[in-house]
Amino acid sequence: MIYLRTFSATLCVFIAANLANAKPNVMLIVCDDLNTHVSTSGYPHIQTPHLDRLAKEGVIFKRAYCQYPVCGPSRASFLSGLYPESTGVFNNKIDIRDTRPGTLSLPQFMKESGYWTGGVGKIFHTVRHEPGDLGWNEYHRFENDEFPFVTEARKQFEAEHGSVERGKNRRRWKEKLQGLFTQTRGQQQPGYGPSGLDDLQHRDGRNARKVVEWLEKKSYGDKPFFITVGIHKPHVPFIAPQKYFDLYPRQKLQFELSPANDWDDIPRMAMVKRFGGFGFELGKENDALRREYTQAYHACVSFVDAQIGLILDKLKSQKLWNDTIVIFTSDHGYHLGEHFMWGKVTLFEECARVPLVVRVPGASQAGTTSDGLVETIDLFPTLAELCGLTTPAHLQGQSYVSLIRKPDGPGKPSAYTVVSRGTQLGRSIRTQRWRYAEWGETKAAELYDLKSDPREYTNLAKSPKHRDTVRRMKTRLVKRQVQAEAARKSPK
């Protein structure tokens, strides 16, 4: 422990010596439903040039994992530094302030530590979940402009029925709109397609431009800033300006096909039937539809990258680049047909693994990569250490500052992810080589050798050859469950 305190103190002095401010600024960028289809995660079929240049000056974490592959629970976890089994948040409706009253959030911690805190977009799951003045000096959520083709259709509707804002017209228009265009479908059948708008007419375009405005006007005053950019995309509907769709001709898209018998050896509780809402069938490829959705998702990713570029450019033009920690990540991953799954809420790599790029002036080694295991829950203590702040004792995450400095380290011994199935939980643990999972009361199990089978096609849980591995991983999983539940009690 003496060594760790000495190391932390030395690092903080080292960072401060390379910053103009006594405390570094922080720019935290969190995407919604972004999987590892970014160039910084080794995905070659995407264009994310601005993330590329951020990565060239920072550290890419190749094995970062969320704790719950759904928006609300994941955000409640990493913004509190607590595992879902301690937050009590297992769906998008639950609020941590009800399940664990008095829990300190990351924005509140930074504000109370002397930072000017600004938030835009989706940070906590909904506006209702946001901490308000307790966490933010300034906070905004924006909306998209109306799509031009929707405007035309609305005017035709109103010419016959009157205003869409009047009485029953509101519901009638909403129902009609969902059937008019692929772009205007609801959550049940996800929408996709070009928006007909420019970047700045999208809410993510507005998010980025509000941050640019703060930096230009120095809204933070004499304080260091903690700005969180909650990027909405690529969450459904997969909507972006036409120019980003043009980057990805459908016929040129490439993806690996899952074995037709993929689910023969996987517990059914591991499955989510969301693929049906997208229009797919289990075990059957629909090439044309997959290309439509994949193109739209990729268009959203490149759109997101362009908005991030505005922020990075402004940090440099305002001469804030060498004073600012920049962290880019996502709340969880997303299936685009892998294992015939679409969407989230599984424990597979596609859902649990997230992109993570970190640049810390004076500490991170430019253009480096880490294979060390980290968890999204580690964000809170990592930022506390980097900013020279006392890490709250109740946090369950662990700082990965050592990996920022020396990316060749091993990271955590394991990463832990859970997801609900009704009233039961599926629990999963990853090590450098293995991924093991158990599902609810049935204890149906999965074991994958990530070294020889990175796509997780072959479940080895029932293999006699791997009994010892199953036993070891099961023991580890039980210990991680106990750790995850340890901070369930609310602060006094």
Is residue 7 predicted with pLDDT exceeding 80? Answer: no
Could you give the CA distance from residue 490 to residue 434 in angstroms, rounded to a whole number?
34
CA angle 256, 262, 264 (to 5 degrees): 175
Question: In the chain, what percentage of residues exceed pLDDT 90?
Answer: 93
Q: Whole-model pTM?
A: 0.94
CA 83, chain centre distance (Å): 15
Mean pLDDT of 430-444: 95
Q: How many angstroms separate the Cα of 48 from the Cα of each of 190, 202, 283, 298, 302?
A: 24, 19, 31, 10, 6
Average pLDDT over the chain reads: 94
Mean pLDDT of 344-355: 98
Fold of 2-144+199-410: Alkaline Phosphatase, subunit A (3.40.720)
Could you give the CA distance from residue 262 to residue 257 in angstroms, rounded to a whole number?
10
Q: Model confidence at 492, in pLDDT bands (50, 70, 90)?
A: low
**Tokens encoding 161:** 């029925």
Residue 114, C-beta contacts closer than 8 angstroms, at least 6 positions apart: 23, 223, 224
Quickly tell me which residue has 């109740």 as its tokens. 394
Is residue 383 predicted with pLDDT exceeding 80? Answer: yes
Q: Model confidence at 20, in pLDDT bands (50, 70, 90)?
A: very low
Closest C-alpha among 54, 124, 137, 56 to residue 96:
124
Domain layout of the chain by residue ranges: 2-144+199-410, 146-194
Instruction: Tell me the per-residue pLDDT of 184-202, one tens digit each, with 9 for 90 and over.
Output: 997 789 999 999 999 999 9
**Tokens encoding 356:** 């993570």
Which residues participate in catalysis according to the annotation? 71, 125
Instruction: Tell me the per-residue pLDDT of 294-336, one tens digit each, with 9 for 90 and over.
Output: 999 999 999 999 999 999 999 999 999 999 999 999 999 999 9
Instruction: Tell me the per-residue pLDDT of 106-163, one tens digit each, with 9 for 90 and over.
Output: 999 999 999 999 999 999 999 999 999 999 999 999 999 999 999 999 999 999 999 9
CB of 59 closer than 8 Å to CB of 407: yes
CB of 466 closer than 8 Å to CB of 453: no
